[in-house]
Structure 1
Amino acid sequence: MASAKEQQEGIFISLKELLGMEHLARQFSFAASRQKVSSILGGKHASKLRGRGLDFEEVRMYEKGDDIRTIDWKVTARTQVTHSRVYSEEKEKPALIVVDQSKSMFFGSQKRMKSVVAAELAALAAFRVLKEGDRVGGMVFSDEGIDILYPKRDRRNILRFLEKVAERNQALDHSEGLKFEESLQEITRKIRNTVSHDFLVIIISDFVRYSPDVIKFIAQIAQHNDVILAKVSDPMEREIPAVNFVAGDQDSQITVKGKDKSLRKKFEEGFDEKLLSFQSTMKKHRIPVLEIDTVRPVDEQLKELFKTKRR
């Protein structure tokens, strides 16, 4: 029999549900060499986020010693000069998936909590990386602790990672939410000790409580690795209901005059301004930001973001 939390769809998520998402990981790819030029992973990522094997690099004039099997006969016929196709060997790109299960993620106004969406996204990313043949590890952080599993090419490693995600997720209702900044300092230290060069680092969070120092740290990681940020948000964080209501937490309550059009407009403009500032800062460091909402299915959103070319 399912536990009470497992029955609260959209509020909490179970390990069984996370494992059940594996079949959805076929609908997108982090391999940017197969992405459209205009996709979210355009730019520098097109040269790094690739699969395994040999990747076509360029056509150049034939040089003595080239394997005749690499001769590009079409270009040779067109130019009347012998040309060779050059391939580069693609290297393994281990991945570290960092997922936020802190108190600010325990919010959702319609379908699911941000914490549930983040957990689903972490599962999809882990299964996708494993399917591409690379090592995958994960880090789960909350206000009350951090769990880390170092990258391995092993399904059991993913199982343990998702177990930790589910555990932290189902503890959110009684999390005190008091140690976030302390956790962030520990997170940056652990990431720095885990990630060296040529990693794929995926950070899943709402990014609402991140200090400039943490953003600076993310930019430093991106200097020698590929970093993707997945920003999870809920519609009510931008658009408050057009009714007066009371909002609060364990410490205080306030009356929100949602019927006031000017207040709703300022609320929307404030959200948009913060989002644009965050995206602009990341763009300077060539870090893509995926916008994920709590309403639409995560797999459908990823499929739209990672549209692949038809071969």
Structure 2
Amino acid sequence: MNQGASLNELTPERRLRRLELTVTRRLDGLLHGSYLGLLPGVGSEPAGSREYRAGEDEVRRMDWSVTARTAVPHVRTVDADRELATWILVDATASMDFGTTEFEKRELAVAAVAAVGFLTSGTGNRLGAHLLTGDGVRRFPARGGRTHLLGMLRTLLAVPRGLPPTDPVPLAEAVTGIHRAVVRRGLVVIVSDFLDGLDRDGLGPAAPAWEQPLRRLAARQQVLAVQVGDPREHDLPDVGLLTVVDPETGRRREVPTASRKLRERYAAAARQQQAAIAAAIGRAGAARLPLRTDRDWGADIVRHVRAQRRLGRAARRPLAPEGGAS
């Protein structure tokens, strides 16, 4: 998305104003009607039945009357509640201070938080957040209103960059923390690059350290994992001898990018790493929304919302009578 100057080049208030206009202009109207937004939300209003999906549906949601009538297992579907409690866990650690295109990953994370906040803002809706930084976790209680959301975004924009972590908290521990804090069922959005907690850079057989905490969280909440990335995390350009620095540890390494074999090995390892992250999020039962600094993040969010709304409508579509016209 070409928006002129980078967010990082604007004053905080101008950044917030741009984000709000981007979200409201491009995404306004997508959530009108039945409240189905970033995910097909949990709720309490009956909306019909659909066939049971093994491994996805809870047995306690079984619609026994329809199951008996059709001889095929069905589960009840519901419309999402009008009042929604949304919690966001946003990663603002040093690995997010990286970007080789229009945005840094940190800026893209701020945009994602703004989109979630403005999309779920409405009468009675509340938004809370856990902000993971190199100094630990800062918590914001769930409250309603635009002023509360803008205050959270200002805090996120003001997180210092380039400082060594003083009290590092692993992503897995942060996920566990929000799992304990959120009691009432609702929507939890995790915005991160998900690079923390990978076994041998995500290439080994072991699951990421955050997978089990994410699985426990998704068992109780609707979970959306917003994975923020940059194209240079997928492939290296041929720019000669490149000095790379690990933002978490400060370690430096000289990389001879002129070597085609090295670039190919890097790309293959990156594909394996990204596949491992996507598979872990899927196994945990969370929805995944990938955003990249070289892509139109607004369009990606729009596509995700529309796809989720189609899923919601399909789940509520009435069944054709047995033997009737298709």
Q: Report the TM-score, using the length of structure 1 for normalisation.
A: 0.73
**Counterpart position of 1:18:** 16
3-state DSSP of counterpart to 1:20: helix
User: Could you tell me whether the CA contact under 8 Å between 1:135 and 1:154 is conserved in 2?
Assistant: yes
Query: Structure 2 regions of 5+ residues with no counterpart?
Result: 51-75, 199-207, 314-326
**Counterpart position of 2:264:** 265
**Counterpart position of 2:115:** 124
Counterpart amino acid of residue 98 in structure 1 = L
Q: Which has the larger radius of gyration?
A: 1
Per-residue deviation at 1:199? 1.6
Counterpart amino acid of residue 177 in structure 1 = P
- Distance in 1, matches of 2:231 and 2:91, equals 19
The alignment's C-alpha RMSD in Å is 3.4
- Distance in 1, matches of 2:111 and 2:220, equals 27
- Distance in 2, matches of 1:154 and 1:245, equals 50
Q: Number of aligned pairs? A: 265
The answer to whether structure 1 residue 207 and structure 2 residue 194 are counterparts is: yes
Paired residues for 1:261-300 under 5 Å: 261-300=260-299
The answer to whether structure 1 residue 176 and structure 2 residue 201 are counterparts is: no
**Counterpart position of 2:322:** none
**Counterpart position of 1:162:** 153
Distance 1:282 1:189, change over 3 A: closer
Per-residue deviation at 1:8? 7.8
Paired residues for 1:103-142 under 5 Å: 103-131=94-122, 134-142=125-133
Cα deviations by residue, 1:72-92 (Å, 9 ceiling, x for unpaired): xxxxxxxxxxxxxx9956433
Q: Report the TM-score, using the length of structure 2 for normalisation.
A: 0.70
The answer to whether structure 1 residue 239 and structure 2 residue 226 are counterparts is: no
Distance 1:217 1:300, change over 3 A: same
**Counterpart position of 1:223:** 219
Per-residue deviation at 1:273? 0.7
User: Could you tell me whether the CA contact under 8 Å between 1:101 and 1:172 is conserved in 2?
Assistant: no
User: Could you tell me whether the CA contact under 8 Å between 1:93 and 1:200 is conserved in 2?
Assistant: yes
Counterpart amino acid of residue 164 in structure 2 = E
Counterpart amino acid of residue 258 in structure 2 = K
- Distance in 2, matches of 1:127 and 1:176, equals 32
Per-residue deviation at 1:12? 6.3
Per-residue deviation at 1:11? 4.2
**Counterpart position of 2:204:** none
Distance 1:278 1:117, change over 3 A: same
Per-residue deviation at 1:294? 0.6
Distance 1:261 1:10, change over 3 A: farther
Per-residue deviation at 1:115? 0.5
- Distance in 1, matches of 2:133 and 2:102, equals 22
**Counterpart position of 2:205:** none
Per-residue deviation at 1:160? 2.0
> Which residue of the other structure, out of 147, 150, 154, is the alignment partner of 2:138?
147
Distance 1:268 1:11, change over 3 A: farther
Distance 1:193 1:283, change over 3 A: closer
Choose 297-306 or 231-240, whichever is displaced more. Answer: 297-306
Cα deviations by residue, 1:257-278 (Å, 9 ceiling, x for unpaired): 2122221111111111111112
The answer to whether structure 1 residue 196 and structure 2 residue 183 are counterparts is: yes
